[in-house]
Structure formats: structure tokens, C-alpha cells
Amino acid sequence: MDNQLFVLFGGSGDLAKRKIIPALYNLFLNGKMPERFAVLSLSRKPMSRESYQEFIVQSVQEFSRNAGDVVDKARQFAKHMHYLSFDAREPNDYRRLKTTLEDIEMANHLPQNRIFYLSMAPDLFEQVALYLKEYGVTQNSGWRRLIIEKPFGHDLASAEALNERISSAFQEHEVYRIDHYLGKEMVQNIEVLRFANSIFEPLWNNRYISNVQITSSELVGVENRFGYYEQAGALRDMVQNHMLQLLMMVAMEPPSRLNTEAVRDEKVKVLRSLRKFDSSDVTQYIVRGQYSSGEFGVHPLVGYLDESGIDPHSTTETFIAAKVFVDNFRWAGVPFFIRTGKRLNRKETKIVIEFKNLPERLYFNQNGKLLTNLLTIHVHPTEGISLQLNGKSPEQDGVASPISIDFSQETKDLPEAYERLIFDAMRDDSTFFTRWDEVKLAWKWIDPISQSFANGHPLNLYKSGSSGPKEAEELLRTDGHTWW
């Protein structure tokens, strides 16, 4: 890997502390950082380099998966960290940034290879891209890359405007739009499961699959992110990016090669095949919900409208269930059910592939219904797969009963999503990052839905700590399915 300088915008923020710094530290610990590297963190807080290094040690102790006996290692790592107090709106600060980068590079014998990570308020993204270019920070002699957090725009128009601004400073191949779901072990494993096993691929189509269910449920509520969340809602926060990415990984055709563009090309084709909603049929296919008060175990939970910072008349959705179709040769007629929400009864991300039933001529259980075969890809908290099959009932002849084949892996020592993705960006592999045409097509598909929401699409309340609004159950029941 090339020697490089990592520039972290938002270096004292929550994401930096919880995810980015621990990820860099774990890479360091596992010998995956380049031979020579430095990190320059930027944030508005005035802070000395020493206090920032202390912040690093704490963040690593608190949040790294290798948090055990780390103080020495963490201090060693912190020596690579530099700090600059920086206001992203202030042109002069970009002049200081440029000279600081050059000084660090000189002192550490680094080539001018720079990776910029924007982990900051999204309304600053455009400004930063503009000034990086204008003040010559991206006119370096080595390579440059930009890692950018979501949300990439708020709708198609704003995403296009942002992209235009970014492309004036960075070429598309230099832009790494991060979607941390693509860094999850089991999400990356979908490709291998599908394309390296002869028992799945022949069945992976509308002849054998009855429906696909993609769930990402959370226990947490809006937390302290009300400013952002009120604007985003579950649709923009989870569906436009994470849920569609999971869908693409399940539905894509085999790529011609396992290279970045071949994989992304196939994902884009899925988005092109997604059936568009127009504002009149959204109600039929999409359920939106908002959590009301409830409880988790013995803990009472307030409703969304009573959360601090939330407009008491807000119609922002905290839950979405959708029935979507990939209108191509492979998937014609197979519904993909997507469901995501906050303040539900569990934290879980999984994909369930439900296979069609065989004619129930030979085996049937007492209710006359053979259980369907299910392939479940467990993304979180378990990482693994399970396959539900039918076997002979040990008690009764001629009766089939379900058996399950399970594989799960020990997750403790596995790299986390951010670790994998940052490592990829540092070594110039953007396979698991979102290409511009993916973002664009995703917004094109989302915009009519948000339009329908703005026009008063029904908002169903659900109790905090429950499994979501009953209307989400109905969405499947009309097709004879239930959520697994």
C-alpha cells in the first residue's frame, strides 16, 4: 500500500470517535497501515496536538474491538496523529491546511498521497470540495481520494448539485461514497455464497424463489440526531442507501469478473430494473410508520413526537415497509419486501430468501402445509447463514418436520465494516463503495416516494418496542406471506 496522509474532517466528532479512529487503530494493530503514514484531524475545537492524542487513546480504549490491554499500542498509534483547529467555512483555514499538509509530509518523508475523509455536517460537503480545489489542497503531486459519508444529497437535484461540485475537485474514480452496510462481513459474503456455490445459483430466480425479505430493525430511537433525522426520515436515512444496497447484492447478475466496475455495473442494472412507483400507487406498496410511546422490557419509551428536538406535529417516518419488484428476466413477479425501523423490538439485520413450495402430494404436516425452505443471511448481530429444510419427523411416519442447517462465525476478531472500507479506500479498491450512477438512480426511485409522503401518504403509529405497524403485516398478508 502506498505511503499516505489521511485527512479527517470532523476529527473530534461522534463518528470519528466511535468508528473511524478505532478502525484506523485496528488496521495499525494488524499491520495493515502503510509503512509510513500520518493522520491529520480537523475540527473546530481549539485543541493542542497532545490533547488530541489523549482523545485518540480514550476513543480507542472505549470503542476499539481490540480494546483490551492497549494503552501502549494506542500511544504508539497516537504518535501518527496531528491536529488542526479548522473552520470549514473559512477560506484562510484552507491556506493553513495546505501548508500543514506539506509540513507533515515533509517531516514524515511522505509522498503527496492524500485521502480526505468528510465525516462532518453534510451541508458543508459542497463548500469543502470547492475550497479544497480553490486553495490548491488537491493540487498535490501524488494521488488524492475523497471518502464521503452519507447522506449524498437530499433528493436527485441536490445530489446532482453536490456531485457537480465534487467532480470539479475529484474525478469519479477518486470518490469513495461510503455506505457502511457494504462493509459488513455477511453483505460481502452474499457474492461468494451466490457465485461460488452450485446449489444456490441455479435456484436463484423466479422459478424457485417465492419472495425475498430484507429487514433492518433497530432498538434505538432518533437519539440526538433530530436535526438531521427530521429531514431524512427512514426513507432517506436507510432505504435510499443501505436497504437498496442489500437488495442489489441479492438481485444482481453474476459479474463478468470480480473487479470493481464489473460488480458495480451489475448493481446498477438492478436499480435500472426496479419498478418505479408513481405517486398514485405508492400507498399500495409502501407502509410508513412512526413510533409512539411504549416500553422495552420494563423501560418506558417516549414516542417520536415527545423526543427532544422533534417538532410535536412532525410527520417524519421512523419505519418503512415496502413491496418492490425488480422487473427483469430473473426476478419478474418475485416481490422483494423491505422493512426498516427505529424503536422496534430487536436489533437485527437479515435477508430471508423464501423458496417456493413443492406440490404437497407426498408430505404434509398435520395442518396440510409443508414448511417452505428458507435461506437466511444473518447480517447482524449473528453473522452467518441458516437453511431451513424439511426432514422426516422422528415421531410420525409420512410427516415432514423442519430442520435447520446453521453456520455462524465468531465475530469478535473480525474487522468491522468501517475497518474494511477504510482499508479498501487506502489501497484504492472502490468495489464496496457507491458509484455516482447508483446514487443517482437510487434518488430517482426514491423521489416520487418522498413526494407522496409530502402529499400526505398515511402515517401509521406503532408502539415503541413492538414489531412495527400492523399495516406492514398486511402488506405481505395480501400476497399470502408473512414476515420471517
Q: Which is nearer to ligand BG6, 80 or 150 (CB)?
A: 150
Closest to ligand BG6 by CB, 237 or 266: 237
**Who's near 36: CB < 8 A, 6+ residues apart?**
3, 108, 109, 110
Q: Give whole-number Cα distances, 441 to 88, 160, 228, 234, 339, in Å.
A: 30, 11, 22, 18, 20
Give the CA distances from residue 186 to residues 40, 238, 242, 373, 426, in Å, rounded to whole numbers and listed in that order. Answer: 32, 18, 13, 20, 22
Element containing residue 462 per DSSP (H, E):
strand 459-463
Contact 111, 101 (CB under 8 A): no
Residue number of the CB closest to ligand BG6 reads 237
Side-chain half-sphere CA neighbours of 7 within 13 A: 25
**Active centre residues (catalytic):** 242
Burial profile 328-341: b = 16 or more Cβ within 10 angstroms, e = fewer: eebbeebbbbbbbb
Rounded Cα distance between 391 and 401, Å, is 5
Query: DSSP class of residue 239?
Result: I
Q: Which is nearer to ligand BG6, 237 or 307 (CB)?
A: 237
Task: Kindly state the smallest distance separating residue 177's Cβ from ligand BG6, in Å.
Answer: 13
Q: Which helix (H) or strand (E) holds 295?
A: strand 294-296
> Which residue type, as a one-letter code, is found at position 163?
N
Q: Which is nearer to ligand BG6, 78 or 234 (CB)?
A: 234
Cα Rg of the chain (Å, integer): 24
Binding residues for ligand BG6, per CB under 6 A? 216, 218, 237, 349
Least distance (Å) between residue 54 CB and ligand BG6 = 28
Query: Residue 190 CB, nearest distance to ligand BG6 (Å)?
Result: 16
Distance CA 313, CA 322 (A): 24
Q: Are strands 299-301 and 319-325 parallel, antiparallel or unpaired?
A: unpaired
CB of 181 to ligand BG6, least distance (A): 7
DSSP helix/strand/coil, 130:
helix
CB of 321 to ligand BG6, least distance (A): 17
Beta strand 319-325 with 335-341 is antiparallel
Q: Which is nearer to ligand BG6, 365 or 411 (CB)?
A: 411
C-alpha cell belonging to residue 138 = 488537491
CB of 237 to ligand BG6, least distance (A): 5
- Using the minimum distance from each CB to ligand BG6, give the nearer residue, 124 or 399: 124
Q: Is 468 left (phi over 0), alpha (psi -120 to 50) or beta?
A: left
Q: How far is the CB of 228 from ligand BG6 (least distance, A)?
A: 8
User: Measured from the CB atom, is 238 or 375 closer to ligand BG6?
Assistant: 238
CB of 95 to ligand BG6, least distance (A): 34
Contacts of 205 (CB under 8 A, 6+ apart): 330, 331
- Residue placing its CB nearer to ligand BG6 in the complex, 237 or 354: 237
Residue 306 DSSP class: G
